[in-house]
Structure 1
Amino acid sequence: MKNFSWGHGIIIALGAFIIFILSMLFLFPNGQKNSEMVTDNYYEEELKYQDVIDAKKRADELQEKPTYTQDANGIKISFPKGYDNSNTTVKFVLNRTDDQNLDVKRSEQLDANQSFLIPSKVLKMGNYTLRLMWTKDKQEYRMDYDVIWK
């Protein structure tokens, strides 16, 4: 029988490392799941991100902010009661964190109660990011909410 030398130890360690790396590749291929980009035109949106930062800052400075509630009918977005909705356009995007095909994008008009409803029929159970954007008197505002639809 040969003597065990440091050269043999290096070869065994290198072989064990290669086997470890290959086992990680084949045993855990789930790293490729949920790897969709949030948006297809990521780079164009990145260039105008300062506008998003400014819109979020303006929304944070509001005394009363829009809120959302959930019930069996869907997700209701409510603006403050005294909100003057003239010269206001409201858009929202519901980004599904795990499946881009379940995203919901719309423009809405506020009703007499200064609110609108995202109907439950367009929602699937899971996690969403609600991006609420509105323009009032040529000023843009934006708020993001994490929503779990059950």
Structure 2
Amino acid sequence: MKINWGTGIVLAFIGFIAFIMYFVVRMSIDDRANHDLVTKEYYKKELAYQEEIDQANDAVKHNAVLKIEKTADGFMIHFPEQFDPKDISGKVSLYRPSNRHLDFNFPISLSSTHLLIPDNRLLDGRWDITVQWKHKNNAFLHKEKLIY
């Protein structure tokens, strides 16, 4: 059987479409491929984004900017000296972009103006830290990307 050039082009298109469909089907049913959004309830979190912007702006306006430094024991979060540590509450969230199973949250409870995140929970690499905290009736937010 002799194949002319028109039949060859049609067979090439069919082969190419079959090749692409193979990869589409393989990636959609493969358990190793991660198809998750960055965070759970992504769209609900996006609706509250303006509140986060307002809290970050309030932190600058009230001179309530946190200082985070890497120490030998882990990350040290320094709260502003002018705020009473007993009146500070909130939570700290650490997000690992490369592995969501390493993410963790914990509440803020202070006896002094600094909080230590111990290094036994931290692996080397990038961490995104979010500190949502309140002092009396004011809510503040601090976000930073850290390399440990």
Q: TM-score range by the shorter chain?
A: 0.7 to 0.9
Residue matched to 1:12? 12
Aligned residues: 146
Aligned to 2:135: 136
**1:50 aligned residue:** 50
Q: Deviations over 1:96-128 (max 9, x none)?
A: 22323222211223343x111001112222321
* One-letter amino acid of the counterpart of residue 138, structure 1: N
Amino acid in the other structure paired with 1:11: L
Matches within 5 A, 1:9-88: 9-22=9-22, 32-33=33-34, 35-63=35-63, 65-85=65-85, 87-88=87-88
Q: Identify which range, 49-58 or 121-130, moves more after superposition.
A: 49-58
**Percent of counterpart pairs with the same letter?**
23
Give the Cα separation in 1 of the matches to 2:143 and 2:114.
17
Cα offset for 1:57? 2.4
Query: Unaligned stretches of 5+ in structure 1?
Result: none
Give the corresponding residue for 2:121.
122
After TM superposition, give the deviation of residue 14 of structure 1 in Å: 2.7
- Provide the C-alpha distance between the structure 1 equivalents of 2:48 and 2:20, rounded to a whole number of angstroms: 43
Change (3 A) 1:87 1:13: same
Query: Where do 5+ consecutive residues of structure 2 fail to align?
Result: none
Post-superposition Cα deviations, 1:8-61, rounded to whole Å, max 9, x if no partner, equal 31221231342255357669x79824x444444445434433322321222243
Change in CA separation of 1:138 and 1:23 when aligned onto 2, cut-off 3 Å: same
**TM-score between both structures, scaled by the size of structure 2:** 0.76
